[in-house]
Amino acid sequence: MDRRQVLAGIAGATFAGTAPRLAEAAEGFLSRGLPPGEYDTAMLAALPGKKKLIKLSYRPPNYETPLDYLRTAITPNDAFFVRYHLAVIPEIDVKEWKLKVGGEAAATPLTLTMAELSAFPPATVTAVCQCAGARRGWSEPHVAGVEWGPGAVGNAVWKGARLKDVLGKAGLRKDAVEIVLDGADGPVLDKTPDFRKSIPVEKALDDNTLIAYEMNGAPLPHFNGFPARLIVPGWVATYWMKHITDIAAVTKPFDGFWMKGAYRIPTGKFPVLQHFLTQANAVNEPITEMLPNSLIASPAAGARVSRGAGLEVQGLAWDGGYGIDHVDVSTDGGATWADAELGKDLGRFSFREWRHRFTPDKQGKVAILARAGNRVGQSQVDTLIFNPAGYHNNVVRPTVIEVA
């Protein structure tokens, strides 16, 4: 973070670019620095069963969680962000729902009802679900795609059957290389490619990879994948197939559009440890694990605080499942840094709460920064490693407040 960037953050904190007619709706929940069009179109709106979230598009529904709901380690179901690629999203009757498990690398294909899926030994994992495109709206220059701010992320306790147990029952053969996933949603037009994804067989057999039917102790909300979705802890949410209906073990790399044509990063540019080798080439490779990231939930940008009064800075940090081991906080625009106090450890895939107290001693604008790092030495960065889809945006950004 250089001085120019810190000052840019300070200038933006006045909402100078906000279109006047929606200033009221935008102020206080839209982050600064997004493409100008976002300030004209984004609104607070509620989908059925959900609180008011930041609506970025309606068809397909893309709704971001306001930072107000990201103050605690567990994100409430009705405030959890919603992301879809395709606009036809059927309401599923769980009594009719079936999950097909087959493919050429399954010796004993089967079809499961919810009662049968629930009969597998249940497992739980607390895990962050983050869109690969989270914070894409802050790419400079701006890039195409849903212009997410910081709220395309949430954390929940997921309960379900282990994918490895279900694949075991379907007679997974040794020659399987990938597991292909499909969900019940589909395109409005036939020529739009259906949203299908694959994961490497090793990741599918990981103990933490679940077919979840519960989220924070309740059935999944419709818009988060009812009645069942895949949970791939540590990996970005593109693989977390919602309304899952088909699982296929295959012997050749899956060549669907959403694998070959999207969710890819330049090969070798990011410090990730896990690679999806059967889908990688010399130019690009699928995005896999999340890199360390954090957010400042409180104070809110633009908050007015008193000089000389103690102030608690509070936020969340997460990574790809190695475990957050420190969050550094600066309350002077990056000149000096202190170690934040970490909250309870809810497991290596979970949000980690953190806090830091300080007493503002000068009047004027103050830029607060947070930088998270993990046990394998990965850390947030000062400058985005530019890539055409704006993935892996874990740039340290200022939250600017006013001391009076």
Ligand X SMILES: Nc1nc2c(c(=O)[nH]1)N[C@H]1C(S)=C(S)[C@@H](COP(=O)(O)O)O[C@H]1N2
The site for Mo ion (CB under 5 A) is made up of 83, 131-132, 238
Contact residue for ligand X among 50, 83, 164, 352 (CB under 6 A)? 83
Find the residue with minimal CB distance to ligand X. 183
Q: Given phi > 0 = left and psi -120 to 50 = alpha, else beta, which region is 145?
A: left
Calculate the dihedral angle through the C-alpha atoms of 135, 388, 320, 232, rounding to the nearest 10 degrees.
100
Question: Tokens 């605080």 correspond to what residue?
Answer: 305
- Residue closer to ligand X by CB (options 5, 224) is 224
Site for ligand X in 143-202 (CB under 6 A): 183, 185, 195
Give the residue, chosen from 53, 127, 129, 313, that forms a contact with ligand X under the rule CB under 6 A: 129
**Comparison of 130 and 378: residue with beta carbon closer to ligand X:** 130
Choose between 229 and 356: whose C-beta lies nearer to ligand X.
229
Beta carbon nearer to ligand X, 289 or 328: 289
Amino acid at 282: A
* Residue 84 binds ligand X, judged by CB under 6 A: yes
* Site of tokens 């919810």: 114
Which of Mo ion, ligand X, none does residue 129 bind (CB under 5 to 8 Å by kind)?
ligand X
Closer of 182 and 353 to ligand X (Cβ): 182
Considering the complex, state which of residue 133 and residue 398 has its C-beta at the smaller distance from Mo ion: 133
Q: Does 320 bind ligand X (CB under 6 A)?
A: no
Number of residues that bind ligand X (CB under 6 A): 20
Among 238, 374, 387, 399, binds ligand X (CB under 6 A): 238
Per-residue b/e over 60-93, b at no fewer than 16 CB within 10 Å? Answer: bbbbbbbbebbeebebebbbbbbbbbbbebeebe
The verdict on 241 binding ligand X (CB under 6 A) reads yes
Residue 349 · residue 125 · CB < 8 Å: yes
Contacts of 213 (CB under 8 A, 6+ apart): 114, 117, 118, 159, 160, 161, 219, 220, 227, 228
Please list the helix, strand and coil fractions of the chain in percent, rounded to the nearest 5, in that order: 15, 35, 50
Q: Which residues pair with 364 in a beta bridge?
A: 403
Interface residue with ligand X, options 131, 170, 265, 396 (CB under 6 A): 131
Q: Which of 32, 135, 242, 392 binds ligand X (CB under 6 A)?
A: 242
Q: Which of the 8 DSSP states describes residue 75?
A: P
Judge contact between 164 and 205, C-beta under 8 A. Answer: yes
183 binds, among Mo ion, ligand X, none (CB under 5 to 8 A by kind): ligand X
- Rounded to a whole number of angstroms, the minimum distance from the CB of residue 79 to ligand X is 11
Q: How far is the CB of 357 from ligand X (least distance, A)?
A: 32
Token pair recorded at residue 318: 């997460």
Could you say whether residue 237 binds ligand X (CB under 6 A)? yes
Q: Which of 155/379 has CB closer to ligand X?
A: 155
Task: Say if strands 244-250 and 99-102 run parallel, antiparallel, or are unpaired.
Answer: parallel
Find, among 399, 360, 354, 401, the residue nearest to 71 by Cα: 354
Residue among 129 and 301 whose Cβ is closer to Mo ion: 129
For ligand X, the binding residue among 32, 55, 243, 397 (CB under 6 A) is 243
**Cβ distance 329 to 369 under 8 Å?**
yes
Residue ranges binding ligand X (CB under 6 A): 80-86, 129, 131, 183, 185, 195, 224-225, 237-238, 240-243
